[in-house]
Chain A
Amino acid sequence: MADISSSFLGIKSPNPFWLASAPPTDKKYNVLRAFEAGWGGVVWKTLGSQVKNVSSRYSAVDYNGSRVMGFNNIELISDRPLEINLKEIAECVKLFPDRAMIVSLMADNDRNSWHELIKKVEDTGAHGLELNFGCPHGMTERGMGATVGQDPEIACMVVEWVMEVAKIPVITKLTPNVHSVVPTGRSVVKAGTNGLSLINTIQSVTGIDLDTFVPNPNVGGKSVFGGYCGPAVKPIALKMLTTIAQDELTRTVPISGIGGISTWRDAVEFMLLGAGNVQVCTAAMKHGFRIIDDMIEGLNNWMDEKGFKKLDDFIGKSVPSITHWEDLDINYHIIAKINQDKCIHCGLCYIACEDTSHQSIRLDYGKPYNTYSVIDEECVGCNLCKLVCPVDDCITMEVHRKGDEYINWKEWQKRGLPLNDH
């Protein structure tokens, strides 16, 4: 059995799976249930000046009959009294001393408010702080949340205030509602944050009710932009994570990965791209805390299969594999191959290639089953047929190099090598 215990900024947890700051970590009742279920840690839902929430709060995007491919919320930070939150945090820490307790914070925009809040939280025995510079709705209008994260200078200033008093590790959570997360990331690292976490939710409109014409979620006939999360945002989160993991300054601090993580596989992907641990929310909101079982077992089995003894053996392993386009090898060439024994004759590869790609699949009519085969000379190796094929490993991409030599675009141009003639 691999060792999946985690130490993030020195904060220990039995596994790298934390629950992100969100409704599931809003109060003692939920957090104790999460710990009982086996979660490694929680980031307590953001504390600050008490707010008032509205109804409804969530909406979702379904896809082809599958519910909650994407999820959206317009809930604000904790709407419970600060004193109750602090008391419950302390109780949770006492009851589960082996679990990580991080508290998310969003104080009013002045130095004193931050100082006071941090001192109160540290008295609970919590192990770390996460600064919410990401919430994209409600708090932004008050100059908080994403408004801070979108401006590197303001973010820097707030982190400096925090670091003046913080005695426990500080993680700064970044907003994805920017053209790049790197400037704010660099700015807060310079200001002294101990770690980074990303991404927070992405501003969105999930859909419109075609009968009432009111977008979701509907609050008495009106809606607002909400924060988008869930499986749909994972690819965006992975990209943003990579930019932080590759930047020479931001990569010097530990990164907690967030964004659509639903399974151990998702978690491994985040960790391969440099996340030291991961945070989960939407998947738990859809299925409950019980999903942790498979996350733990799946991670363990995968590590055993791959021969990884501890998390550090693979964290960041894929970061160097993401390069610049102009460094890609132009001589690398693959051609699709359809396994006729596995083919079920659905024609999806054919119509995708024929209508939208390179007309590289030959159709031989049959009744009722047509035969589809690849025209090797025409195939550009784009993967589209393989992606739409419903049968596992029916279409494989086979390597047929155009030349033995590695040659990239810069070199190609330098040598004046030919471009396509059709």
Chain B
Amino acid sequence: MAITNNRLTKEQYEQNFSDIRPPFENKTAAVVEANRCLFCYDAPCTKSCPTSINIPKFIKQISTDNVKGSAHTIFISNIMGAGCSKVCPVEKLCEGACVYNLLEEEPIQIARLQQYSTMKALQENWQLFERKPANGKKVAIVGAGPAGLSCAHVLAREGVEATIYEKEEKGGGLMTYGIAAYKVTPQFCEDEVNYITSIGGIEIKYNQELGKNLSLSDLQQNYDAIYLGIGVGVARQLDIPGEDLLGVVDAIKFIYELRDKGYSAIPIGDKVAVIGMGMTAIDAATQAKRLGAKEVTMIYRRTQEEMPCTEYELNIAKLDGCEIIWLAAPKEVKGVNGKVTQLVCHVMKLGEPDISGRRSPVDTGETITLDVDMVIKAAGQVPFEDLVKGSSLDNKNGKIVIDNNSATNIQGVFAGGDAVNGGKEVVDAVQAGKDGAAAILRYLKLF
């Protein structure tokens, strides 16, 4: 067993990482699907979208060949509508609520229709919004992820000058760095960021990290308001023996590097264990398999009933050949010569419900041992606790606390997205950015 890179041919990599939600081949295919839409009133799909995109309207606009109008309908509610059309877990959002499900019919392919309009807008660089005249207000946004970009776009539309400070070299946040490559390509993420900023009035300063070469107090002095969309950091520590052995990696870092360095540069084990059953765990497991790992086993301490990922995502992992072990919690990583050789897990059973309402796993006292050479940790991410506490921001275990006006305890400082909620979907962060922008506009008396 060994951890090595460059396991596959170029063609194999390309095939393994090709788009999992391919666009409609042509206009006719999109229009046929658009015409299936019943055009519901007060539509369940719209009500199930965190950004409340008027879905029946944009689909109707595709059917009348008003694609520009369709793209505008999407972007007015969700400026990352293109990215969301690729990464949203639509099976539990819009498509999951489609009334066709109640007829036991396939729901409308909302995501692919949304992709049809929004990708055309990106490709043609349609400018669908007009900025209001500059009003002289300046807002600093920390983090060029979905929350920050969404906030910036609303502010820019209203004539505010938005400056985004981003610690990485590219914008997009977890969209760029934390999502499986078969959902979005790095090129797409870059195009999307460029499209969003093309409205004008948004400047992104890269390699600017709060707490390192950037301070909140400096920003407070130079801007009329601040929005923190700093996201969450590394994967939760397992706090078990052997976690520092060679071969134990953080899922976010793993996915980040895969996106950043290219498939063939990423070392992967023969036998890989992935801890967790969220979307990130799925993305890590499936991509480990697609990079050429012989065996990938997902370990989750609860059962399928409680898993955070959707059934659709679970099926992607299963179809990729990933094994699943339910009711197993990591106890110890064992190694030889500093390298991972085994993962020992407690065998769990379900006990009483915990505060989340889910039945909590209880140790049965038994263990199982897996022979592995790599362990990927994806048991949730932790907030930037030190940064948040060091900035005197009210917080709950590092998650920034905001009121129902997106405001933190510090006057003029607003926050949203994963930094507040601890890690949800891209679409939730986009809505948080809109809410933050609306709050800032009220704060600046521009609304």
Contacts and interface: CB of A to CB of B under 8 A. Distances in A.
A176 B39 CA distance: 36
Given A368-B97, A391-B103, A347 B35 contact: no
Interface string B84-105: 0000000000000101101100
Interface stretch (B40-48, B343-351, B365-373): B40-48
B214 interface: no
Contact of A345 (B32, B39, B44): B44
Interface string B27-66: 0000110110011111111011000000000000001000
Interface residues of B, number: 20
B63 A346 contact: no
Interface in A326-365: 344-348, 350-351, 363, 365
Most buried by A among B31, B42, B48: B42
Interface string A362-376: 010101111000000
Contact of A65 (B32, B100, B103): B32
Given A65-B35, A348-B40, A368 B48 contact: yes
Contact of B39 (A344, A348, A365, A370): A348
A65 B31 contact: yes
A390 B38 contact: yes
B38 A348 contact: yes
Contacts, number: 43
Given A367-B47, A391-B103, A346 B40 contact: yes
A64 B47 CA distance: 25
A370 B38 CA distance: 16
A346 B40 CA distance: 5
B47 A346 contact: no
A355 to B, nearest CB: 9
Contact of A346 (B34, B48, B99): B99
B43 A347 contact: yes
Contacts of A370: 42
Given A64-B63, A350-B41, A344 B103 contact: yes
A344 B43 CA distance: 11
B35 A64 contact: yes
A364 B30 CA distance: 33
A346 B41 contact: yes
Contact of B44 (A65, A348, A369, A391): A369
A363 B103 CA distance: 21
Contacts of B42: 347, 363, 365, 370
B99 A344 contact: yes
A350 B43 CA distance: 12
Contact of B102 (A64, A65, A345): A345
A348 B47 contact: no
Contacts of A367: 47
A347 B48 CA distance: 16
A351 B31 CA distance: 24
Given A65-B32, A344-B102, A346-B99, A368 B39 contact: no
Most buried by B among A65, A363, A368, A391: A368
A370 B100 CA distance: 15
Contact of B40 (A64, A65, A347, A365): A347
Nearest to A369: B44
Nearest to B43: A347
Contacts of A345: 40, 44, 99, 102
A359 B44 CA distance: 21
A128 B102 CA distance: 55
A225 B42 CA distance: 42
Given A64-B63, A367-B47, A351 B41 contact: yes
Nearest to B94: A368
A348 B63 contact: no
A350 B38 CA distance: 14
Contacts of A344: 99-100, 102-103
Contacts of B41: 346-348, 350-351
Nearest to A370: B42
B167 to A, nearest CB: 37
Interface in B111-147: none
Contacts of B97: 368-369
Interface string A308-321: 00000000000000
A365 B42 CA distance: 9
Most buried by A among B35, B44, B48: B44
A391 B97 CA distance: 17
Contacts of A348: 38-41
Nearest to B36: A65
Most buried by A among B31, B39, B63: B39
20 contacts: A64-B35, A65-B34, A344-B100, A344-B102, A344-B103, A345-B99, A345-B102, A346-B40, A346-B43, A346-B99, A347-B41, A348-B40, A365-B42, A367-B47, A368-B44, A368-B45, A369-B97, A370-B42, A390-B38, A391-B103
Given A64-B63, A367-B47, 17 more contacts: A64-B35, A65-B63, A345-B102, A346-B38, A346-B43, A346-B99, A347-B41, A347-B42, A347-B43, A348-B38, A348-B41, A351-B41, A365-B42, A368-B45, A368-B47, A369-B44, A370-B42
Interface of B: 31-32, 34-35, 38-45, 47-48, 63, 97, 99-100, 102-103
Interface of A: 64-65, 344-348, 350-351, 363, 365, 367-370, 390-391
The list of the 10 closest CB pairs from A to B, nearest first, reads A347-B41, A368-B44, A65-B35, A351-B41, A344-B99, A344-B102, A346-B40, A368-B47, A368-B97, A368-B48
